[in-house]
Chain A
Amino acid sequence: MQGSKKAGNLSWRILIFSLWGLAIGTGTLYAMKLDAAPGAAGQAKVTQIQTNTMPLLVLALHSQCPCSLATVDNLAELAAEMPNRLRVLAVITGPNSHDCPVLKALQSVPNVQVKFLSESEILTQYGARTSGQAYLYNQKGQLVFSGGLTSSRGEVNDAAGIDAIRNVLEGKPAIKSTPVFGCALQTPGEEK
């Protein structure tokens, strides 16, 4: 009698622990799926520009995207490492663009020019859909890189995108594109 009660308790425990393990596994898979999906990749509207001797980096940013702060920090580090080798054009959209953390962060980057655009303008003019989208034009004005400058959300580190820019500036072979992880620049349903 007592033995069967014990066996019953054990079965219940196994069942509860199994359900619990299943819930953890499902939650983990869901979280991985969320992170595995990068933002929509941008399509540069211009592949050749008129430029002077310095390469140009066009950087599309959402004014409130927390991850974009890491993008700016990575860029600032690179600029400090290779001073006067790169011009930056930051195009910002989103609420409170004129007074946002990203704008303040950009002040630490030399040779930076800021443009405030609407979400449709940033799409039509630069083909950017995700905050952190960068386009790098070399000294000849050719588009040589398109993608994100951080290797993970909000991380300040040596990401593949930064490596690509460094390589271009040093005249080395560089990867052409990286995924962009960040907030969507356009409001859903209002994309044109």
Chain B
Amino acid sequence: MNPTKVLNDRTIEVHDNAIAELYRSTNRNFGFLLIFEYFAVVIWAALRSPLTWHGQQSSINSHVWVALLLGGIVALPSSYLGLLRSNKPETRWVIAVCQLLMCSLVIHVSGGRIESHFSIFVSLAFLSFYIDWRLIVIPSLVVVIDHLIRGIYLPQSIYGVYAGANFRFIEHALWVVFEDFVLIAACLKGAKEVWSIAQRQALLETTTHNMEVIAERRSAILDNAMDGIISMDSNFLVTEFNPAAEVIFGIDKNEILGKDLFCSLILEEHRKIHLAGLKHYLQTGECKDLRKRIEVTGLRNKLQKFPIELSINPVHFKDEVMFTAFVRDIEERKRLETELANRSQKMESIGELAAGVAHEINTPNQYIGDNIRCLEIGMTSLMQVMTEFKELHKIAHEQGFQPELIQNIDETIEEADLAFVLTDIPRAVAHSLEGVERVASIVRAMKDFSHLGQDGRSTVDLNRVIESTVVVARNEWKHAGILELDLDPGLPHIRGNSGQLGQVVLNLIINSVHALKERYEGLEMGLIKIKSRKIEGQVEITFSDNGCGIPITSQPRIFEPFYTTKRVGVGTGQGLAISHSVICDHHGGEITFVTKPNEGTTFTILLPIESEVSKVA
């Protein structure tokens, strides 16, 4: 709604209410006044000329009857209206006329005593309390008409003379008109002031309402803030302590308000430093620790130490300096950071160990492979020799040459199961070579991973990064599901950090494994698909699983650091945050996801190939 219209409507409402209340109160006052006037005129008439004498007889003076009866007819009904019908619109009109009729009665009873005419002027002045010029004009007309008629027909009752007063009303009327000018001007001014007051009140109410709304909003913000917000005055006494602060420090607001902030909430050794800094600021306007986030040790329940992140900002309000402290409980964050650091250190050690082991394995593996290949060659030659030996043995046996020797050879061949040996040894050698190759590929993958955490950028073959990571992580996924690779053989190489990208691939594989375990609980094998392809100047890698999916409530937060929905010990809440940082911040790419609860999740990574390097075949 239009604020101006609201203000105008409220002004009219306030004005009308004020006028109505003015009418009511003035009506009530005139109600009492008329009763007073009635009894006064009756008593005056009774005291002044109570009796009329006729020789020896007396009777009540007619003026007493006039005051009693005519005064009653005029004053009592109008007084009733003023006291009991004060809110009726006609009441003030009746009262205005009757008040002047009472004046007329007073003048009449006084026998036209000139002093009694003052009652007219007083009455008109009283009527101006209505601040309605019409209530001055109408009674004035009553006065003039009364003076005119009485002046003609009974001048002694109004002017105290018996004759010659036909035009005297003009003089009296002029005096009334003179007063009317003053009173009407006063009424108009009064009405204007009432309107002006109504405007100011409406404006004040509107402003107050707006301020209340703002205050309520601010209060709601303070009440619902996750961080503790504490205000203190220049004496460091607490003036505001929001609910979050109560939770953080385990202290009730009423217990801390008006007390020294630092006494109860901050560790003593920090307390002195902060106090000195703030005092220095009050004296010089400078303090290096203000408007900065610093980590200090707080006191929970006045005893228990815990880490907090604190920032204190000075607030200058008029000539006063206040301070607002923003407090964040970082105990959980610190715990996770420590845990993560420990894990990272452990992982780093494992990585270094793995790299060392890989190196140590690689050397003997190489000469084992070489020797086996040498053996293979030797065995091939030996097989040819054996073939020729068999021919010689056959001929010697047929010609009866050295039968005893032949007999011994036959027995040896039979004992050695030469036929089997000659068939199985080449197969064993082939299997050994295959094993050696497998060891070599694992060692190669381990060497790739030994680059984790290194910042260098180089040409990265994403397919190879994926394959290596899949090999390294095989132990993670092989019991949870089947992992299918659909890698584009023509995928261009990009410039990037292979270690960081391998970490992302590993994180997403482990995420998928956790999702599969949560959905199938080891009773069924799930499916993980990793696909790479080139699209419109970008490399797209998708990681799909048919696991439990991501709950709707968690979806907006999965890339936040330390946010996890996994049970304690399963995840740190860092994996996706790191992945997001690696892809978006370090490689200028993007990572998105599509998920359906209990159907699965697909993460899509897009990496720019603006720095695409030549494809290595």
Contact = CB atoms under 8 A, between A and B. Distances in A.
A35 interface: yes
A186 B54 contact: yes
A62 B53 contact: yes
Contacts of B150: 32
20 contacts: A20-B73, A27-B66, A31-B62, A35-B62, A35-B108, A35-B111, A36-B153, A64-B53, A66-B48, A67-B49, A94-B53, A151-B156, A154-B111, A157-B114, A160-B161, A181-B156, A184-B55, A185-B55, A188-B57, A190-B55
A25 to B, nearest CB: 10
Interface in A68-120: 93-95, 119
A155 B160 contact: yes
A157 B56 contact: no
B111 A153 contact: yes
A15 to B, nearest CB: 14
Contacts of A190: 55
A157 B160 CA distance: 9
Interface string A136-165: 000000000000000111110100100000
Contact of B56 (A24, A28, A187): A187
B54 A187 contact: yes
A45 to B, nearest CB: 18
Given A151-B162, A185-B55, A13 B154 contact: no
B90 interface: yes
The 6 closest A-B pairs by CB, nearest first: A187-B55, A152-B111, A183-B53, A27-B70, A184-B54, A152-B160
A178 interface: yes
Contact of B55 (A24, A66, A119, A154): A119
Contacts of B57: 187-188
A35 B105 CA distance: 13
B73 A95 contact: no
Given A31-B70, A35-B156, A35-B157, A160 B54 contact: no
A31 B112 CA distance: 13
A134 B537 CA distance: 137
A97 to B, nearest CB: 11
Given A66-B48, A155-B113, A184 B160 contact: no
A23 interface: yes
B113 A152 contact: yes
B55 A186 contact: yes
A174 B295 CA distance: 117
Contacts of B94: 17
Given A13-B90, A24-B101, A35-B156, A179 B162 contact: yes
A133 interface: no
B58 A64 contact: yes
Contacts of A27: 66, 69-70, 73
Nearest to B101: A24
A65 interface: yes
Given A31-B66, A32-B157, A183 B54 contact: yes
A1 interface: no
Interface residues of B, number: 36
Contacts of A35: 62, 108, 111, 154, 156-157
A71 B56 CA distance: 20
Contacts of A94: 53, 55-56
A30 B58 CA distance: 21
A175 to B, nearest CB: 10
B121 to A, nearest CB: 20
Contacts of A181: 156
A79 B166 CA distance: 32
Contacts of A178: 162
A186 B154 CA distance: 26
A151 B57 CA distance: 25
B561 interface: no
A185 B74 CA distance: 34
A77 to B, nearest CB: 16
Q: Which of B73, B101, B104, B162 has the largest count of A CB atoms less than 10 A from its CB?
A: B162
A131 B51 CA distance: 13
Given A36-B154, A178-B162, A183-B52, A23 B62 contact: no
A74 to B, nearest CB: 12
Contacts of A64: 51, 53, 58
A183 B63 CA distance: 13
Nearest to A62: B53
Q: Which of B51, B56, B73, B150 has the largest count of A CB atoms less than 10 A from its CB?
A: B56
B426 interface: no
A66 B49 contact: yes
Interface string B158-170: 0011100000000
Nearest to A67: B49
A176 to B, nearest CB: 14
Nearest to A131: B53
A154 to B, nearest CB: 6
B250 interface: no
Contacts of A157: 114, 160
